[in-house]
Amino acid sequence: MTCFVEIRRYNFIPLSLGSLSACSSRPLWHKTLTLTQPYSKINLRIVFDGSKLSFRVRSNRISVVKPKFIAAVDPRDDDNNQQEEADRGLKVPPKEDLASLNKHKASQLTKRIVFGLGIGFSAGGIILAGRWVFTVALATAVFVGAREYFELLRSHGITAEMTPPRYVSRVCSVICALMPILTLYFGQIDVPVTFAAFFVAMTLLLQRGNPRFAQLSSTIFGLFYCGYLPCFWIKLRCGLVAPALNTRIGAGWPILLGGQAHWTVGLVATLISFSSIIAADTFAFMGGKALGRTPLTSISPKKTWEGTIIGLGGCVATCVVLSKLFCWPTSWLSAIAFGLLNFFGCIFGDLTESMIKRDAGVKDSGSLIPGHGGILDRVDSYIFTGALSYSVVKTFMPLYGV
C-alpha cells in the first residue's frame, strides 16, 4: 500500500513528513515540512488509495520550499512507486540524467586527481630548486591569490562598504607579490609591510567620497593574509641554512646540484610541511567521503569530524615517516608535535578561506585550476602553516638535535 503527498500552487521543500506516516501500513521516511515564507492558507491534498481528502493547515505548522511536487513513498516499493508516480503525472528523473550526473562527477574527480598530482610534483621540484625559483613561484601564486581575494570582496555577498577602490586592490596585489622577493633579498619583511600598510591607509583615507573603516580593515587583512603570511615560507625554506647533516639523501646528492650543503634544515622542514599538508587534505577528503556523518562546523558544512580525525592521523603519520627518512627531527616526540602543528595550521587556514567564501556567497574563489577552483582554494591550507612551522623550527627544534 502506497501513499503520497501532492502539493500544488505553492513551492515547498521536503524537510519532514513524520505526521503523514499514518496514511500507510508501511513506515515512511520521517521528515518535516517547514515554511520559508508565511502564508495564511495552504492547500494540502492527500491521495490515499484513490480517495481524496482536502484540508487546511496553519502557516506556522508547515513551511515553504522550492520543489513543486513532493512524494513520500515507501523505499521498499521503489520500482512500483516510480511507475505509479509516472501514471499520476509526477516528475521522475530519467536514467539518462542520472548517468550524465554520475559521469560529470567522475570527470570532476579525475580532473582533481590529475591536476592535484601535477601540482604536487611541480611543487616538489620548486622546493628542491629553492632560492629564486622558489621565491618567484611563490610570488606568482601570491599575486593571483591576492587578485582572487579582492575579487571576493566585490562579490554580491560582501557589503559595498568593505570593497576598496579597484586601483587600491590592484596596487595591494602587486605589493603582496613583492613581499616574498623583498623577504629573500633583505632577510626580513617588517619594514616593507609597515610601509605598505601606511600607503594603503593613506590612500583609502584620502580617496574621494566617504572613507569607510571596513574598507581599511578588509584591505589591511588582505595584505596580512595574502602577502605577509606566505613570506614565512621564504624564511623557512631559504632562511634556515643550517645543514641537515644526518640526512642520508644529502650524502649522495650530485655536486652540480649543490651537494650535501644543498640539504639544509629549511629544505627538509619545508618538504615535510608540504607533504604533511597534502596528506592531511587527502586523508580528510577521502575519510569524509567514506565515513563522514557529523558536521565539523557551520562555516564549511561539507567538513566532518570523521574526516578531520582521519586527516589528523594521516598528517601525523606522514611527518613521522618522513622524519625517519630524512633523519629530522631526531625525536619521535618532536616529529609528532610537528605533525600536529602542521595539521592545525592547515585546518585553520582552510576554515578561514571557507568563512570568506561563505560571506561572499561563492563556492570557489576562482576557476583557474580545473577540479580545484582558484589558487586560494588550493593553497588556503598553507597560508598559516608556514608561519607556525618557521616559528617552531626556529625556536624549539634546535633542542632536538638540529
- Is the domain of 155 the same as that of 70? no
Question: Which of 59, 92, 125 is the endpoint of a domain?
Answer: 92
Mean pLDDT, the chain, whole residue set = 77
Whole-structure pTM value: 0.72
- Is the domain of 279 the same as that of 182? yes
- The predicted pLDDT at position 279 comes to 93
- Give the range among 56-65, 170-179, 317-326 with minimum mean pLDDT: 56-65
Residue 92 pLDDT greater than 60, yes or no:
no
- Is the domain of 31 the same as that of 174? no
- The predicted pLDDT at position 274 comes to 95
Residue 355, CA distances (Å) to 38, 321, 332, 352, 362 in order: 30, 33, 35, 5, 11
- Tell me whether residue 43 is in a domain: yes
Residue 38, CA distances (Å) to 6, 32, 59 in order: 20, 16, 6
- The predicted pLDDT at position 95 comes to 57
- Tell me whether residue 356 is in a domain: yes
- Is the domain of 239 the same as that of 371? yes
- Is the domain of 221 the same as that of 300? yes
Residue 379 pLDDT greater than 70, yes or no:
yes
- Is the domain of 118 the same as that of 87? no
- The predicted pLDDT at position 174 comes to 93
- Is the domain of 115 the same as that of 11? no
Mean pLDDT of 291-314: 92
Three-state secondary structure string covering the chain: CCEEEECCCCCECEEEEHHHHHHCCCCCCCCEECCCCCCCCCEEEEEECCEEEEEECCCCCCCECCCCCCCCCCHHHHHHHHHHHHHHCCCCCCHHHHHHHHHHHHHHHHHHHHHHHHHHHHHHHHHHHCHHHHHHHHHHHHHHHHHHHHHHCCCCCCCHHHCCCHHHHHHHHHHHHHHHHHHHHHCCCHHHHHHHHHHHHHHHHCCCCCCCHHHHHHHHHHHHHHHHCCHHHHHHHHHCCCECCCCHHHHCCCHHHCHHHHCEHHHHHHHHHHHHHHHHHHHHHHHHHHHCCCEEECCEEEEEHHHHHHHHHHHHHHHHHHHHHHCCCCCHHHHHHHHHHHHHHHHHHHHHHHHHHHHHCCCCCCCCECCCECHHHHHHHHCCHHHHHHHHHHHCHHHHCC
Tens of pLDDT, residue by residue over 53-83, are 444 444 444 444 344 344 444 444 444 544 5
Distance, CA of 183 to CA of 181 (rounded, Å): 5
- Give the range among 62-71, 188-197, 370-379 with minimum mean pLDDT: 62-71
- Tell me whether residue 330 is in a domain: yes
Mean pLDDT of 144-172: 88
Instruction: Return the residue matching grid coordinates 629553492.
Output: 130
- Is the domain of 119 the same as that of 86? no
- Is the domain of 270 the same as that of 319? yes
Tens of pLDDT, residue by residue over 223-262, are 999 999 999 999 999 988 888 888 888 888 888 888 888 8
Mean pLDDT of 322-340: 91
Residue 136: domain span: 110-400
- The predicted pLDDT at position 56 comes to 41
- Rg from Cα positions in the chain: 28
Give me the amino acid identity at 314. G
- Is the domain of 76 the same as that of 114? no
- Is the domain of 27 the same as that of 76? yes
% residues pLDDT > 70 (the chain)? 70
- Is the domain of 160 the same as that of 76? no
Tally the domains of the chain.
2
- Tell me whether residue 97 is in a domain: no
- Tell me whether residue 103 is in a domain: no
**Confidence class of residue 287 from pLDDT cuts 50, 70 and 90?**
very high
Instruction: Return the residue matching grid coordinates 582552510.
Output: 350
